[in-house]
């Protein structure tokens, strides 16, 4: 009888330690009011609830949807709220310290070939398992899925090496952006029109929930070794460069394959006559996402194990915290992807199709803008970026200001994307002026805003864009009789472009306010001297 009792006690003690890790430490003997996990869930509830309510209002008052699809959407929203909260807690506990520790260890080695080789492998391996990229590849009919994914991964790996060189040698971000986007715009003239939008979309979906937290923290770890004043601002920009690599790589792939079509609508609609069938629909997809997210986390775990054995030697509470954080990250991302793909994707497609079939089709533009405003708030990586920017800029850029700027940019981009579907306007008619304006703004804003803005473009176009806005555009395009390859694809690219302008506009306002404060201080000093 002793062994079962001992086992029960062991389980009880493990459970107590597990819950203790969730709870923040008490301060000054005050009672614990909220756990960290509850705080994260509250944040995710604020992010997901608005877009859920907007879509429910549309379904009840504007466009009819099947009851089973709507119920799947509601259940998917609950999974999104739970998943985002757990995922954000997990990244704070594991992804950020792993990335910073590995980045610092690489830089301390002073071995440039090793730094570049590890950066390339990190970029390739993490991208190969990025869930967003798998979603996009399944919609591209002109190229085999594995070929497209490998091409994008190589592009990310190469440009991640370039980003490391920029941090180590303090190369100006503006200089690299002008060269890279100049090459992108020139190469776009040689790519088939049916593949051009896919190339730009690939740059946006690559930097998803797995890639962004690790790359951001990796850059922070590499920059932390430097002691100059620009080290912190130079830690941003890795995500921006990692977004350019896939665009160039897929453009070259399109020139080789010359696909006649590049889009297909493979959206699986949930059909469940009762609640048990609905639960079975979600449960049937669960093993795929358990495997997919496991493959996504495996490269990061292997890199951590290698560096832990060779150089980090993290022990005690921090190691337990990191391992527990990886479990949270895994669980949260599984729940998020399950809710987004099974619950949100079919409703996005059906909603776009229904709105496109209305007599007043122009209503899709304001509806798309409203949805875009709230959808970006539900992106897991957006919240991570906002908090990291706030801490790195010592509060100079509050999370709310950055979030509002992103929402405004994404809202505008979705409206323009829907307008492009309605009118059949080529995507480059929007991308060329947009990127030119974004590059011109780099000469007038503080460098840190440029790096954050171009990082934000990749972060904003995450899994919510791939699983809701892209199906929404596909449904609208099908209803209007448009071309999926040239019209529907490109919404991710538009979402990735407008934050570059919105965040840099925020930086321009910030610089003007700084100058105003400086001039006010000078006037006060002169008055004091005169007095």
DSSP labels, 262-327: -----PPPP--SSHHHHHHHHHHHHHHHHHHHHHHHHHHHHHHHHHIIIII---HHHHHHHHHHHH
Confidence at residue 33, expressed as pLDDT on a 0 to 100 scale: 38
Q: Quick one: 376 exposed, middle or buried, by C-beta within 10 A (0-12, 13-18, 19+)?
A: buried
Task: Read off the tokens for 162.
Answer: 């370039």
77-89 burial: b if 16+ Cβ within 10 Å, else e: bebbbbbbbbbbb
**Angle CA 132–136–140, to nearest 5:** 165
Confidence at residue 14, expressed as pLDDT on a 0 to 100 scale: 42
Band the pLDDT of 519: cuts 50, 70, 90: low
Q: With CA atoms as reference, report the closest residue to 201 among 143, 161, 162, 158.
A: 143
**Which residues, in sequence order, are CB contacts of 376 under 8 Å at separation 6+?**
382, 406, 407, 410, 460, 464, 465, 495
Rounded to an integer, the average pLDDT of 360-377 is: 88
Rounded to an integer, the average pLDDT of 237-261 is: 83
Confidence at residue 42, expressed as pLDDT on a 0 to 100 scale: 84
pLDDT over threshold 90, residue 180: yes
Confidence at residue 269, expressed as pLDDT on a 0 to 100 scale: 66
Rounded to an integer, the average pLDDT of 409-426 is: 90
pLDDT per residue as tens digits for the range 343-363: 888 898 889 988 888 888 888
Band the pLDDT of 389: cuts 50, 70, 90: confident
CB contact at 8 A, 230 and 170? yes
pLDDT per residue as tens digits for the range 302-317: 888 888 888 888 888 8
pLDDT per residue as tens digits for the range 195-241: 888 888 888 878 777 778 888 888 888 877 776 667 667 778 888 88
Domain locations along the chain? 35-530
pLDDT over threshold 80, residue 494: yes
pLDDT over threshold 70, residue 28: no
Q: Which residue has the tokens 């301390």?
A: 108
Mean of pLDDT over the chain: 81
CB contact at 8 A, 495 and 243? no
Proportion of the chain above pLDDT 70, given as a percent: 85
pLDDT per residue as tens digits for the range 330-339: 999 899 889 8
Q: With CA atoms as reference, report the closest residue to 329 among 93, 118, 168, 145.
A: 93
Element (H, E) at 99: helix 96-108
> Minimum mean pLDDT among 93-107, 173-187, 261-275, 376-390: which range?
261-275
More confident residue, 467 or 12: 467
Band the pLDDT of 518: cuts 50, 70, 90: low
Confidence at residue 524, expressed as pLDDT on a 0 to 100 scale: 52
More confident residue, 261 or 29: 261
């Amino acid at each position: 009888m002793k062994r079962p009792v001992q086992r029960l006690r062991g389980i009880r003690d493990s459970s107590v330690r597990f819950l203790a890790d969730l709870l923040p430490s008490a301060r000054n003997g005050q009672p614990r009011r909220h756990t960290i996990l509850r705080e994260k869930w509250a944040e995710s509830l604020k992010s997901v609830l608005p877009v859920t309510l907007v879509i429910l209002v549309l379904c009840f008052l504007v466009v009819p949807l099947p009851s089973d699809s709507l119920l799947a959407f509601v259940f998917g929203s609950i999974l999104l709220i739970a998943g985002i909260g757990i995922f954000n807690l997990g990244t704070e506990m594991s992804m950020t310290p792993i990335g910073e520790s590995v980045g610092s260890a690489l830089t301390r080695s002073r071995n440039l070939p090793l730094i570049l080789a590890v950066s390339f492998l990190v970029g390739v391996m993490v991208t190969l398992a990025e869930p967003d990229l798998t979603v996009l590849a399944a919609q591209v009919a002109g190229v085999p899925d594995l070929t497209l994914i490998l091409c994008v991964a190589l592009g990310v790996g190469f440009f991640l090496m370039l980003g490391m060189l920029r941090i180590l040698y303090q190369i100006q971000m503006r200089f690299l952006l002008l060269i890279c986007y100049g090459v992108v715009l020139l190469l776009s003239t040689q790519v088939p029109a049916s593949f051009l939008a896919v190339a730009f979309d690939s740059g946006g979906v690559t930097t998803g929930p797995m890639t962004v937290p690790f790359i951001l923290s990796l850059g922070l770890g590499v920059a932390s070794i430097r002691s100059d004043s620009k080290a912190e601002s130079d830690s941003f920009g890795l995500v921006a460069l990692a977004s350019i690599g896939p665009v160039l790589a897929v453009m070259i792939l399109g020139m080789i394959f010359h696909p006649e079509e590049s889009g297909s609508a493979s959206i699986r609609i949930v059909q469940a006559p009762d609640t048990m069938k609905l639960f079975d629909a979600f449960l049937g997809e669960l093993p795929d996402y358990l495997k997919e997210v496991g493959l996504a986390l495996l490269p990061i775990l292997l890199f951590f194990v290698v560096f832990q054995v060779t150089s980090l030697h993290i022990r005690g509470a921090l190691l337990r915290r990191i391992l527990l954080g990886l479990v949270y990250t895994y669980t949260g991302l599984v729940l998020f992807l399950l809710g987004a793909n099974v619950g949100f994707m079919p409703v996005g497609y059906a909603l776009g199709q229904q709105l496109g079939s209305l007599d007043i089709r122009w209503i899709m533009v304001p509806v798309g803008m409203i949805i875009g405003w709230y959808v970006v708030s539900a992106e897991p990586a957006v919240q991570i970026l906002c908090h990291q920017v706030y801490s790195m800029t010592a509060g100079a850029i509050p999370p709310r200001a950055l979030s509002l700027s992103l929402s405004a940019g994404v809202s505008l981009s979705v409206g323009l994307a829907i307008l492009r579907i309605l009118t059949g306007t080529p995507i480059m008619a929007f991308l060329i002026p947009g990127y030119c304006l974004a590059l011109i703004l780099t000469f007038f804003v503080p460098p840190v805003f440029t790096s954050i803005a171009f990082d934000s473009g990749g972060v904003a176009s995450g899994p919510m864009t791939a699983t809701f806005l892209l199906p929404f555009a596909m449904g609208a395009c099908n209803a209007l009789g448009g071309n999926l390859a040239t019209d529907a694809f490109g919404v991710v690219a538009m979402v990735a472009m407008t934050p570059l302008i919105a965040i840099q506009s925020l930086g321009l306002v910030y610089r003007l306010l700084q100058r105003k404060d400086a001039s006010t201080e000078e006037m006060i000093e002169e008055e004091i001297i005169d007095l």
